[in-house]
Chain A
Amino acid sequence: MSTDITKGTPSTSYNGGWRTSSAWLHTWSGLTLGWILYFVFVTGTVGYFDTEIDRWMQPELPRSQTGTSTDEAANAILNFAQANAPGADQWLMSLPASRNQPFGSLYWRGASIESGAVSASGNTLIDLNNITALNARETGGGQLLYQMHWRFPYMTRNYSDWIISIATFFMFVAIISGIITHKRIFKDFFTFRPGKGQRSWLDAHNVLSVVALPFHLMITYSGLLFMGFSFMPLVFAAYYGNDNGARGQFYSEVFDPPGMVAAAGVAAPLTDLDAVIEEAESVWGENRIATIDIRNPGDSQARIFISENFDQTVAAGAGRLVFDGTSGELLHNAPSASSPAKAVRDVSLGLHEGLFATTLLRWLYFFAGVVGTAMVGTGLVMWTVKRRQQASSEIDKKHRGIRLVEKLNVGTVAGLFVALAAYFWANRLLPASMPGRADWEVHTMFLTWALMLMLSAVIPARLGWPLQFRLGGFAFVLLPVVNMATTERGLIHSLATGDWVFAGFDLTALLCGALLFWIAQRATQVMNKHQKQRAPQTGSTSPIPSEHPVEGARQ
């Protein structure tokens, strides 16, 4: 397998095989940005339940209003827009069409405050029953948690894009080189040798990698495509030139709906929305409309762009219809996949986001994400296990590097769960009227993570692993208790009333907590077993390398 790059023993000379070189590359591309990948996997996995988490984090909101008919919802939001955002350049109305959009909402910009708009631009959820804005505690919610996995907080978009792109690319290289390394990938899959030190870690890492290999490949490649326009802009520059205008030209050729026009400045009443909805439904079928985007409402050049709900297709792009906003005439019908390459891109992105997934499939996505997280986690731990064994026979020279990786591993692989739980705790415990409370939820999460890294720096890893997993376990198990103490929608209430979003969150938190306790227990056992093996220091050295993943040679 891989050896150290700068210092190899004479017996580990490079023999030129693809598997050997791939193993080396696999190790280093996986480790270098492994902690970033771990963070991306954890927040991305949680993100498959972004909308559900949103709702748990705003317990003041009513139950989902997805049952509302398209006509009723559209007219309610339109009434709200006319009353609260007159004279706007754009009203983007989202209908509560599926799990992804539990409430109606309105985004507007360019509204006229003289004509009575509440603000020039805004974005608000709307209660369809009485046409008022829905107000709840300020929070980033599940959306922000999910967003963290493609855009880091505390960083400009530019830096974050580059870091995530490179980390994702390293992951892609790690997966492909990992496949090349394991010639007998399926035989390895059926080989699991528990309780055998490094072998067991390797087997576990193999099983976790192979069992969800299609998912890992798909999620990484499509992740690259998400970042692609900022990561590899030069491919487009070759065709369009490199200035901003040229780039805009490309985007509009590929993505813009046809028939965008500027406002004429001549007032004209908006057409009857019901007729437009009826025509759209004659094309797509009933209740298939997700958003109604009205540009220049009240102008003679008004346009209505209607997007199809894409919960019934894997592809991320939606079909669009364009109507004249004054006559109600259908001007364009733009299907989602306008070209084969765009179809490949849309399907890749759609598979990544999984917005189409219904309950069962959504859970499968979640578990695949958990497996991916565990794959990255075991990979990181394995690096230290291997090196501890090699190092134990040598002098204490390389140990600084190993110890650093170990500390980062404990504080991230285990500590990140404590930080994640802290984000939810902060949502319940920070006062509802606190200024900047949404920011403070995030600060709480990252301060907790920093605390866990500091804890890991001062406590030996032997104790740190079980301790931090146990802390995570407590933090998650107690979440339903905190919820019950601070809201009316505790677990007992939600189970009794069939409130599955709340019950689901609380039960999942309990399950996560239990899992973390179990991992802590296993970690303790492994550490103790190693302590016993070491204690006698008998001359008979076992052919099986020591099991201690952390402190093999520190004495």
Chain B
Amino acid sequence: MNLSAPRLIALVAAALIGGYFTAISSGIFAGSLFGLIWGTPRSEAALTGHLLSFISYAFIVIWVFHDRRPLFVWSILSVITLLMTTIGMWLGGMLA
């Protein structure tokens, strides 16, 4: 498991910081989606997203250290975060 120091730092940052924002975006996305499907108010959507975000965070970290290609994981996390935040907030705007 040879990881050079720069690569290790890039991965730790991807997991902890990149993963943090991806986890939040997944919470926003999932909260809005469930909110629309079940017709809940926004407080409920926010709370649902909140409950799920910690679980995504943990699995994102595990995935980052499984893949171990800093450039690749950073790109994937950025794209997913951008997509889920945009769609999630757009869907969230339709909630009561």
- CB of B40 within 8 A of CB of A339, answer yes
B77 at the interface (CB under 8 A from A): no
Binary interface encoding of chain A residues 308-320 relative to chain B, with 1 for a CB under 8 A from any of its CBs, else 0: 0000000000000
A57 within 8 A of B: no
Q: How far is the CB of B35 from chain A (nearest CB, A)?
A: 9
Q: In the complex, what's the smallest C-beta–C-beta distance from A239 to chain B, in angstroms?
A: 5
Q: Which of B49-64 contact A (CB under 8 A)?
A: 49-51, 53-55, 57-59, 61-62
Interface of B, secondary structure class, is: helix
Count A/B pairs, Cβ under 8 Å: 111
Whether B18 is near chain A, meaning CB under 8 Å from some CB there, is no
> Which of B42, B54, B62 is A22 in contact with, Cβ under 8 Å?
B62
Contact string, B27-57, partner A, CB cutoff 8 A, digits 1/0? 1100100000000111111111111011101
Q: List residues of A (336-389) whose CB comes within 8 Å of B's CBs.
A: 339-342, 344-345
A63, chain B: closest CB distance, angstroms:
41
* CB neighbours of B3 from chain A (8 A): 5-6
Q: Across the interface, do A228 and B54 meet the contact criterion of CB distance under 8 Å? A: yes
* A residues near B51, Cβ cutoff 8 Å: 225, 341, 344-345
**A254 and B43 within 8 A (CB):** yes
CB <8 Å contact, B89 and A14: no
State whether B54 touches A172 (Cβ < 8 A).
yes
Q: Is the CB of A235 within 8 A of B43?
A: no
Interface size class of A (residues with CB under 8 A): 35 or more
- Given contacts A2-B1, A8-B2, whether A21 and B27 have CB atoms under 8 Å apart is no
Is A190 at the interface (CB under 8 A from chain B)? no
Interface string of B72-94 (1 = CB under 8 A from A): 00000000000001001100100
A505 at interface, CB cutoff 8 A: no
Given contact pairs A173-B58, A228-B50, A341-B51, A253 touches B23 in the complex (Cβ within 8 A): no
**Are A238 and B57 touching (Cβ within 8 A)?**
no
Q: Please determine whether A238 and B1 come into contact, CB atoms closer than 8 angstroms.
A: no
Residue of B nearest to A342 (CB): B47
Residues of chain B with a CB closer than 8 A to A238's CB: 24, 28, 46, 49, 85, 88-89, 92
Contact B54 A225 (CB under 8 A): yes
CA distance A221 to B52 in the complex (A): 10
- CA–CA, A172 to B8, complex, Å? 21
Measured in the bound complex, the distance between the Cα atoms of B27 and A392 in whole Å is 47
Docked complex Cα distance between A12 and B2 (Å): 8
A 1-36 contacts with B by CB, 8 A = 2-6, 8, 12-14, 18, 20-22, 24-25, 29
- Known A-B contacts: A14-B2, A235-B49, A238-B49. Give 17 more (CB < 8 A): A5-B3, A6-B8, A8-B2, A14-B1, A20-B1, A21-B62, A176-B59, A180-B62, A232-B23, A232-B27, A235-B27, A235-B31, A239-B31, A239-B43, A239-B46, A341-B51, A344-B51
Q: Jot down 29 A-B pairs with beta carbons below 8 A, ordered by A.
A: A2-B1, A3-B1, A5-B3, A6-B3, A21-B65, A22-B66, A25-B61, A169-B54, A172-B58, A173-B61, A225-B51, A229-B50, A232-B23, A232-B24, A232-B27, A236-B46, A236-B50, A238-B28, A238-B46, A238-B85, A238-B88, A239-B42, A250-B43, A253-B43, A341-B48, A341-B51, A342-B47, A344-B51, A345-B47
The 9 lowest CB-CB distance pairs between A and B, nearest first, are A341-B47, A253-B43, A21-B66, A235-B27, A238-B28, A14-B1, A341-B48, A234-B24, A239-B46
